[in-house]
Structure 1
């Protein structure tokens, strides 16, 4: 059997035969990784000698945007059987039973974060000795994703939202030109969809919009491809972009006499591109917003989007990347209060479709056939209609396929540049570095870059919920946030080794893997131990990683944040001492203060607790001081702060 496997790998991998999958996961998926024109250039443009591609076999599909006959005309073979293909490409994952052994596959697998729902796919990949390349992990020399549909998601997301906005305004008693706009998939091309948007823009410019819903303000979050695509569509309408600080002034212009409100119409929309400085502000009012500091220490900032932007927005187009360590763009409580205060917000297009993410009430994705749901802020209930109180929300997670033709052309233009390497390479080392990095598994074994996946899977076993944590077998737990080049430089493995070697355990709470060689990755681990000594040892060791080579641009740097420790983050022996004094911070003035307090003769057994965000800093401050204890504390965690303050006599 071993010799047969080796022989099959030698004869299939790199044999120059490409298979194109029929998409089966979603009925709306009509995209293709390569169009007929791409295939023609690969097969007919000199053959394997020049392109590395000898044949292309296409699985038949009656819903693909390009017909089978078009592929045949391009020199492809049409067949359900892809067994002769060394490389098989698609957009979404194939059905498990369709995966053939000893081949190379390329598609969006959504497995590199150990996503639970896709682990059966990864198991099948390894069982069948498959080599898996994930498009999401392919980045160019500048560290940007090469194969992405962001602009198409933004374009489709805004057009679909405008379509729903027309229906929503009608249910509120207003007829608008938006009502005549269809969803993106209803147009034969992106150009046709844009023409329809231009047409309603001309109607707005000519006849205006009802004064009762004006000014209509669109707030765009994010500045990447998704936001650019959405703004591209918005700019086809008569519009003016305004700075965030001008929104109150714009809204004040709405205060017209009642007679004018019933007759006066507006002839344009307003847009506002929201950046991080408009979303958060320093908790310390004496400080100014600093983007670098915000990304390094988001715990020092509070959300202000609900104060500065949302009160004036008719629509929010959410295109931003978000991690749990950052404040939410809009919480449920904030949205409910906004609507109570008469906020003009009608709807949200959550193009990111981040469930439970930056917009908290978005608790599910929607489909192309039913793209909207309505959230009633007064009752906290969700509805699948457009009529009634609340805001509407679009949260479709497959938007780019609505422009299947253009999206496929864009995707294939890039994929065809390196599919030749994938089709002809006999071994992983023959591939360029950006393709090697995108290989999750090679011949059924995880590549070194992704060897962390099994360890993460172990932590995702369902555990019975407990009041304090998800590690019920451990007495003490804390939330550890790690940010840095965790995966590409194997730091995550080092961190997990530290936890397990010390006798602790961990549970993965959150994982966001950086999309490029320059991007940071972020993980949240709930770390547990049987006693505070072990937990402190783990925290100290993790802190030593974070502090190693800090400031060296060539070092594999990692930043660390320790959250709330259950059962209190200080030693139990503290309960046996006398009065306690809490010092917040571990700066230069803290050690002299601790020395003075513990040596004060008129008070017996004074115990000083020095609490700092970083455990190591606190320990260095109290080192050698009798009756002084270090504690880790994030002061933004009000529960932990209150718990610690309640145990001391003086702060």
Structure 2
């Protein structure tokens, strides 16, 4: 068996990789009979010479590989027929912008294993970059706050490309009485919390945040239980909430007068209540000055997220008076950071964590056998057809 780590082609350039050079050394120890090569890339965070130094060849042609492993979607013209691929395809929710990609995968008889549905038996995801989206999103929140207030100037996370250095910079900040709210309770929230705790910002309960704020900077975390209540006045029930989003309304307006920075890491669907309405931003009660929208649903849970941004142009403004998108850092703007590929700002750290999970839990299944059906549950296509698990995408593929 021969495995190839493919080049990332999407732009802006994604510098992540599924296995770092150090992890490739461990791969060779664990799987000495499996060949591993790396497709040459001018933009990967690890250079060709770093792979070659540990005995992993970099090649221009991966046609002779059996399994091809990437991170983001592979462009249609780069897909090699009759291969097994692993990457985030962004098709399992019938995303219309990737219908052509899924059609091409089927036409080329590709067996696609998507990272997103790779789960343990209880449904917990095995792989993902959510934590690193949270880490970088939180860093960018304070970067934006520094620019907004003129109190400090942080370098972009991709300029340091180092978690420890970035966190050291944050620890030095004097935030005075800055008030921070973050939403969510998944891997993204885990990353946000890690940053806030490393900065030694005091945590308070949602109730204390509003009624009994402490001295100095402080933060609170809002989960679905904190953010929404039933319209009929019934008791909160998580199962009921996830099955009946339309029967709930947002309570986030209670936090609008008391928040300087909102870091949004919540899961959101179109039938869920938004955090606030655009018109709410006109009000003097709306105190939020910076929003780091890690969720990044355009006009979604944060209605003034008017577009997704990139790491080189991360922030735009929302004019409270004009009620429209404008340049960032104006006199009456709420400044919104809505970068879609946040983990690629710390590609070495993100790749190391992702690759470790890949090496420990996924590669053994590819090489030694999928006895628990983990790969089977995540295989979208096989033999030119959708698998049974993803047959619900047939109408999507056919454009119905």
Distance of 1:445 and 1:77 partners within structure 2 = 34
Judging changes above 3 Å, is the alpha-carbon distance between structure 1 residues 432 and 85 closer, same or farther for their aligned structure 2 residues? farther
Pair 1:443–1:297, CA change in 2 (3 A): closer
Q: 2:256, 2:285 within 8 Å by CA — same for their partners in 1?
A: no
1:434 corresponding residue in structure 2: 374
Aligned-pair CA distance for 1:98 = 1.7
Cα displacement string for residues 374-394 of structure 1 (whole angstroms, at most 9, x for unaligned residues): 011321210133123131111
Output the CA distance in 1 between the equivalents of 2:31 and 2:364.
12
Q: How do 1:12-51 residues align onto structure 2 when only pairs under 5 Å count?
A: 16-45=1-30, 47-48=32-33
CA distance in 2, matches of 1:119, 1:232: 36
SS for the counterpart of 2:116 is: helix
Partner-residue secondary structure (3-state), 2:198: coil
Is 2:211 aligned against 1:222?
Answer: no
Structure 1 stretches of 4+ with a deviation exceeding 6 A read none
TM-score, with length taken from structure 1:
0.58
| 2:118 alignment counterpart | 138
How far off its partner does 1:199 sit? 1.8
Relative to 1, partners in 2 of residues 1:245 and 1:403: Cα closer, same or farther, differing over 3 Å?
same
Deviation at 1:282, TM superposition (A): 3.0
Q: What is residue 158 of structure 2 aligned with on the other side?
A: 185
Q: Deviations over 1:443-482 (max 9, x none)?
A: 322111112212134566xxxxxxxxxxxxxxxxxxxxxx
**Residues 1:406 and 1:378: Cα distance change in structure 2 (over 3 Å):** same
The aligned residue for residue 227 of structure 2 is 279
Q: In the alignment, is residue 315 of structure 1 matched against residue 261 of structure 2?
A: yes
Partner of 2:345, secondary structure, is helix
Matched ranges for 1:438-457 at <5 A: 438-457=378-397
Corresponding residue of 1:543: none
Describe the shift of the 1:448–1:288 C-alpha distance in structure 2 as closer, same or farther (beyond 3 A): closer
Distance 1:296 1:83 in 2: 45
What is the correspondence of 1:409-558 to structure 2 with a 5 Å cutoff? 409-417=352-360, 418-423=362-367, 432-458=372-398
Deviation at 1:400, TM superposition (A): 0.6
Change (3 A) 1:374 1:39: same
CA 1:219/1:71 → structure 2, altered by over 3 Å: closer, same or farther? same
Distance 1:458 1:380 in 2: 40
Change in CA separation of 1:368 and 1:246 when aligned onto 2, cut-off 3 Å: same
Number of positions where the alignment pairs a residue of Structure 1 with one of Structure 2: 399
1:352 equivalent in alignment to 2:295: yes
Q: How does 1:616-631 map to 2 (within 5 A)?
A: none
Check the 8 A contact 1:108/1:134 in 2, yes or no.
yes
Give SS of 1:235's match. helix
> In structure 2, how many angstroms separate the alpha carbons of the residues matched to 1:160 and 1:400?
12
SS in 2 for 1:441: strand
- Pick from 109, 116, 140: which aligns with 1:129? 109
> Aligned partners of 2:235 and 2:386: how far apart in 1?
46
Deviation at 1:191, TM superposition (A): 0.7
| Cα RMSD, aligned residues only | 2.1
Tell me by how many angstroms 1:70 deviates.
Answer: 1.7
Structure 2 residue aligned with 1:67: 47
Task: Call closer, same or farther: CA 1:45–1:75 in 2, change over 3 Å.
Answer: farther
Task: Give the secondary-structure state (helix, strand or coil) at the position aligned to 2:365.
Answer: helix
Secondary structure of residue in 1 paired with 2:311: coil
* Residue of structure 2 equivalent to 1:147: 127
TM-score w.r.t. the length of structure 2 is 0.93
After superposition, where does 1:2-401 map in structure 2 within 5 Å?
16-45=1-30, 47-48=32-33, 53=34, 55-170=35-150, 176=151, 179-200=152-173, 204=174, 209=176, 215-250=177-212, 268-285=216-233, 287-306=234-253, 308-333=254-279, 335-336=280-281, 339-401=282-344
Q: 1:194 to 1:323 in 2, by over 3 A?
A: same
* CA deviation profile, 1:146-199 (whole Å, cap 9, x unmatched): 1111111111001112111111112xxxxx2xx232221121410111111112
Tell me the secondary structure at the aligned position of residue 180 of structure 1.
Answer: coil
Alpha-carbon distance change, 273 to 282 in structure 1, aligned in 2, over 3 angstroms: same
Tell me the distance in 1 between the aligned counterparts of 2:371 and 2:99. Answer: 26
Distance 1:114 1:249 in 2: 44
Evaluate the alpha carbon distance shift between residue 440 and residue 288 of structure 1 in structure 2; reply closer, same or farther with a 3 A threshold: closer
SS at match of 2:180: strand
Decide which structure has the larger Cα Rg and report it: 1
- Deviation at residue 341 of structure 1 after TM alignment: 2.2
SS at 2:267 equivalent: coil
Bigger RCO of structures 1 and 2 (CA < 8 A, at least 6 apart): 2
Within 2, Cα distance between the matches of 1:103 and 1:458? 23
Report the Cα distance in structure 1 between the residues aligned to 2:18 and 2:198, rounded to whole angstroms.
Answer: 29
In structure 2, the residue matched to 1:551 is none
Gaps of 5+ in 2: none
Verify the 8 A CA contact 1:318 1:352 in the aligned structure 2: yes
1:502-532 CA deviation, whole Å, 9 max, x = no partner?
xxxxxxxxxxxxxxxxxxxxxxxxxxxxxxx
Within 2, Cα distance between the matches of 1:289 and 1:92? 38
Give the corresponding residue for 1:549: none
